[in-house]
Amino acid sequence: MDYFEIAKQKFDNLRTKKDVLILSVESSCDETAIALVKNGRQVLANAVSSQIEIHKKFGGVVPEVASRNHIKNITTVLDETLTESGVTLDDVDAVAVTYGAGLVGALLVGVNFAKTLAYALKVPLIAVSHVHGHIGANYISHQDLEPPFLCLMVSGGHTALVDVRDYCDFSVLGSTVDDSVGECFDKVARVLGLSYPGGPNIEKLAKNGKKCIKFNYHTPLPNSLNFSFSGLKTAVVNYVHNLQQKNVQVPKADIACSFQELAVEELVGKTMHACQKLNSQKLVIAGGVGANSRLRERLSQACEKNGIQMFAPNLRYCTDNAAMIGSIAYFYIRAGKGLADLTLTAVPTVRIDA
């Protein structure tokens, strides 16, 4: 029997097997990550090698540099994962990997590594969508959390409201028509001279500022569940450039705070609107911007007011990691989804509802 015949048979068995141990690989951007996750909920090991320090000096992720560093680090990350978990590769039931969305060159390193491992171990290869992984971060953070729920997906690549009807059944209610909110945080950080990654540095700086700056900006798409962040980004950038041209000191903390408040209110308003529309009692936050403490605070206040239960991932699972990929891969397997053959390749974008 060739590899894929064996993989198909094992995949079918895994749909009902009592315990399923998944080794998961994530390399979509600048984190090289490998995890071991049991039954979608229990993280045995979660190793992440971050390239932040390398990309900082360029002010953002340089795709070619990211790919090269994934290649350099990935076997060490696997060794760390195995040592931390105490299991051996023979215990692994399936290998899962992020195949998109992300930087194609970076993704290819993880995809090729996972294909090689799956082939050598003769276990199924599971192709996972990165955004679904961000939702999976919640299943390892909240053991009792089950769909259906509404998800606010806020990452560097996505800003969307997703109706999660089941573990593998997603419907997009609204998404950004231009920039993601993460991109907006990163660009505002850059114009304020803050280092990469911008989001966490805006959050830090905003704590010392006041919401007192009026940007030349009107809330876009007021009656829609779609988002638009490019207007806010441009308004802040223009505001800063204007002051710089006049040689006026830039009140960085106040700008960070005023910008963050506008971005957060935009997210909170539409999220509450979507909850009402769906009559949803459960809200789940997913993606890197979900680490923002002001967003969590405002959403939690709004949820409390409206009788909605709110869930957010533990901070270590909020930004990119492989444990979240291993979690959702388990639910893919249970639903008979995601089995890939050895022609699997990387793609830059994936539909959330695919």
Tell the smallest beta-carbon distance from residue 20 to ligand KG4 (Å). 25
Tell the smallest beta-carbon distance from residue 120 to Zn ion (Å). 28
Tell the smallest beta-carbon distance from residue 141 to Zn ion (Å). 15
Q: How far is the C-alpha of 184 from the C-alpha of 12, rounded, in Å?
A: 43
Chain centre distance of CA 125: 21
Q: How far is the C-alpha of 124 from the C-alpha of 330, rounded, in Å?
A: 12
Q: Are 206 and 256 in contact (CB under 8 A)?
A: yes
Q: By CB under 6 A, is residue 199 in contact with ligand KG4?
A: yes
Tell the smallest beta-carbon distance from residue 106 to ligand KG4 (Å). 12
Residue carrying the six token digits 């971050």? 50
Question: Whose Cβ is closer to Zn ion: residue 155's or residue 201's?
Answer: 155
Q: Are 199 and 52 in contact (CB under 8 A)?
A: no
Q: How far is the C-alpha of 343 from the C-alpha of 112, rounded, in Å?
A: 10
CB atoms within 10 A of CB 269: 14
Of 166-174, 197-205, 218-226, 326-334, which segment contacts ligand KG4 by CB under 6 A?
Answer: 197-205
Closest CA to 263 of 157, 152, 182, 173: 182
Q: How far is the C-alpha of 300 from the C-alpha of 315, rounded, in Å?
A: 16
Across-strand partners of 34?
25, 47
- 291's contact among Zn ion, ligand KG4, none, with CB below 5 to 8 A by partner kind, is ligand KG4
x/- letters, 261..300, toward ligand KG4 (CB under 6 A): --------------------------xxx-xx--------
Cis peptide before 313 (omega within 30 of 0): no
- Which H/E stretch holds residue 166? strand 159-166
Question: Whose Cβ is closer to ligand KG4: residue 315's or residue 342's?
Answer: 315
Tell the smallest beta-carbon distance from residue 146 to ligand KG4 (Å). 23
Site residues for ligand KG4, 136-155, by CB under 6 A, read 155
- 198's contact among ligand KG4, Zn ion, none, with CB below 5 to 8 A by partner kind, is ligand KG4
Question: Whose Cβ is closer to ligand KG4: residue 33's or residue 344's?
Answer: 33
Q: How far is the C-alpha of 37 from the C-alpha of 20, rounded, in Å?
A: 8
Q: By CB under 6 A, is residue 185 in contact with ligand KG4?
A: yes
Q: By CB under 6 A, is residue 226 in contact with ligand KG4?
A: no
For the record, the structure tokens of 67 come out as 């790919």
DSSP codes, 84-120: HH---GGG--EEEEEEESS-HHHHHHHHHHHHHHHHH
Question: Whose Cβ is closer to ligand KG4: residue 29's or residue 333's?
Answer: 29
Helix (H, G, I), strand (E, B) or coil at 346: coil
Among 32, 176, 319, 327, binds ligand KG4 (CB under 6 A): 319
Among 157, 174, 231, 326, binds ligand KG4 (CB under 6 A): 157
Interface residue list for Zn ion (CB under 5 A) = 155, 320
- 289's contact among Zn ion, ligand KG4, none, with CB below 5 to 8 A by partner kind, is ligand KG4
Contacts for 233 with CB less than 8 Å, ≥ 6 apart: 179, 183, 184, 187, 188
- 185's contact among ligand KG4, Zn ion, none, with CB below 5 to 8 A by partner kind, is ligand KG4
Site residues for ligand KG4, 52-91, by CB under 6 A, read none
Of 47-55, 76-84, 181-189, 303-311, which segment contacts ligand KG4 by CB under 6 A?
Answer: 181-189
Summarize as ranges the residues that interact with ligand KG4 (CB under 6 A): 29, 130, 134, 155-157, 182, 185-186, 197-200, 203, 287-289, 291-292, 319-320
